[in-house]
Structure 1
Amino acid sequence: MKKQSSLFFTLLLLFLTTEYAHAQFEGKVVYNSYELKSGEKINNDRFTMFVTPDRILLQGDNSYDFMGNIRTEGVLVRLDFEDFVFLTGKDKALKISKMDITSMMNLFGGSSGNQRENDTDINYKRTGERETINGFDSEKFIFSDEEHKGDYVSVWMTQDLQFNWGMLAEPWGDDVEGMISGDFPISLIFEEGYFPLRIESYQDGELKTVTEADEINESSIAKAMVQIPSGVSVLSLQNYLFQQLSEQ
């Protein structure tokens, strides 16, 4: 499930690095993700994004590795508390701040500057192709690898879905950008207010993975989903790591 984990957190980090906020969307967006092998869909996974004016929950069907040290079932972004809550099990959750995340990336992921030195050159192209996806007018963009001509990512995006990102609209610096795969230069995608509805990854000209929003519903039901479940103990980063070490 490594590729699904990568897609899950790519989506999360796309949301973290948006630099604008317009009319607010409230409801849920469901992404379906799968790999293709000999034309057959394999390793299907689904991610649901619940959105309210002051909170965002990104949750998948499976559990996922974050920074290689934390196993999470979902991430709750509490704009009203300016923190992130990682749901790490049935009875506990990890609460971390923006500064905590930056420190963790430096500790576990190494210097983002070193990673950037190894990035390949990515070409960005607006194709002009348009398609209606789930009722939203979308435009196709292509991101291609300069060194590997057959490797590219096709992304359909819309400007018709806007969110209130609160603290997430603040600059996050190179540390966050360094975590995202070099084939997805988010700084170019979102500067005009686009939101991804379908992401198709090609290798040697062959379609390998697809992540698409197959359900978009505006509804107040999201408010009930963006709460920490009752009975869950919320730990600080320091207490969480201490508990993890004591259980080894």
Structure 2
Amino acid sequence: MKKATYYLSAMLMAACFTQPAAAQFEGEITYNSYEYTEGNETSGDRFMLYITPERILLQGEKKYDFMESLETDGVLVRLDSQDFVFLTGGDEALKIAKTDITSLMNMFNNGSNGGEPLDKDYDIRQNRTGDTQTIKGYRSEKFVFRDESDPDQNYSEVWMTNEIDVNWGMLAEPWGGDTDALISDDFPMDLVFKENYFPLKLEAYKDGKLTSALEVTEIKQAPVDPAMTEVPSGVKVLSMQEYLFRKMNNR
């Protein structure tokens, strides 16, 4: 998944690790992503966020590889169940619970460096520019996030609003240790969750050149059909243990 797309997914994943907030927004938000090669723009994907007080569905028009052998076209974040469900468009889906991710991170960390915290590959510096504009009727502010290893060449410009109040999570306490580092090293999640900003437009630059972009195209605040945030009828939901067991047996 490309960088702009990854930012959106990373922010969605991090939602389950934050303090609960009063649910104000319910509705649909649509994004378009773009990729740039040698200055030429190509359409990436179209994403829809379906947001309710207890669940969030991120769904794209394309499929993406997940865990090498699974393709997913949507991720259902079930805040009420503390898990993620990766939808494949077929008759099976993969469920990953909070405890699954914590266990995997602890296992990989202990196996790689004796229990010490995982090293960070980069350091991101945040800059609030003071620039503002209205995007889809919402007053937005411009932030710049620079990779400290090469701040003039590798950075992202993000327009965010604090006028869209989303219930990002329902956990009483954030996850600790290496899981926090996994989801937040490359994007300042505190700005989104503690200061209640919501991203509407993002442009990512590498070596000083625009490489990818993500922008909101429609915001519709209205009750979401409950069926949109349910696992489709007839789809079997596999646990992480069932998925790994099946993968080992199919080698």
Q: Same fold (TM over 0.5)?
A: yes
Aligned pair 1:113/2:120, yes or no? no
Q: Cα 1:91–1:103, aligned 2, differ >3 Å: closer, same or farther?
A: same
State the alpha-carbon separation in 2 of the partners of residues 16 and 31 from structure 1.
21
User: Structure 2 CA distance, aligned partners of 1:53 and 1:151?
Assistant: 36
1:159 equivalenced with 2:162 (yes/no): yes
* Post-superposition CA distance 1:156-201 (Å, at most 9, x none): 1000111123425741234344334854232345421111111111
- Give me the whole-angstrom Cα distance separating, in 2, the residues matched to 1:133 and 1:179: 31
Separation in 2 of the partners of 1:56 and 1:243? 28
Query: 1:74: which partner in 2?
Result: 74
Please list, as runs of the form range in 1=range in 2, the aligned pairs for 1:57-206 lying within 5 A after superposition: 57-68=57-68, 70-106=70-106, 113-116=117-120, 118-119=121-122, 121-148=123-150, 149-167=152-170, 170-180=173-183, 182-206=185-209
* Cross-structure match for 2:219: 216
Partner residue of 1:34? 34
Structure 1 gaps of 5+ residues are none
CA distance 1:169–1:45, shift in 2 (3 Å): farther
Which SS does the other structure have where 1:173 is aligned?
coil
Deviation at 1:206, TM superposition (A): 2.1
User: Relative to structure 1, is the Cα distance of residues 15 and 91 closer, same or farther in structure 2, using a 3 angstrom cutoff?
Assistant: same
SS of the aligned residue for 1:167 comes to coil
CA contact (8 A) 1:59 1:74 kept: yes
**1:16/1:169 contact within 8 Å kept:** no
CA contact (8 A) 1:56 1:226 kept: yes
Structure-2 separation of matches of 1:70 and 1:106: 23
Contact kept in structure 2, 1:28 and 1:50, CA below 8 Å: yes
Partner of 1:240: 243
Say if 1:155 and 1:198, in contact at 8 Å, map to a contact too.
Answer: yes
Q: Which amino acid aligns with 1:58?
A: L
SS at match of 2:247: helix
Q: Are 1:152 and 1:202, in contact at CA under 8 Å, matched by a contact in 2?
A: yes
Cα deviation 1:95-119 (Å, max 9, x = unaligned)? 2211112223455686793332x32
Q: 1:152 to 1:105 in 2, by over 3 A?
A: same
SS in 2 for 1:187: helix
TM (norm. structure 1) is 0.86
Alpha-carbon distance between aligned partners in 2 of 1:147 and 1:235, rounded to the nearest angstrom = 41
RMSD: 2.6
- TM-score (ref. length: structure 2): 0.85
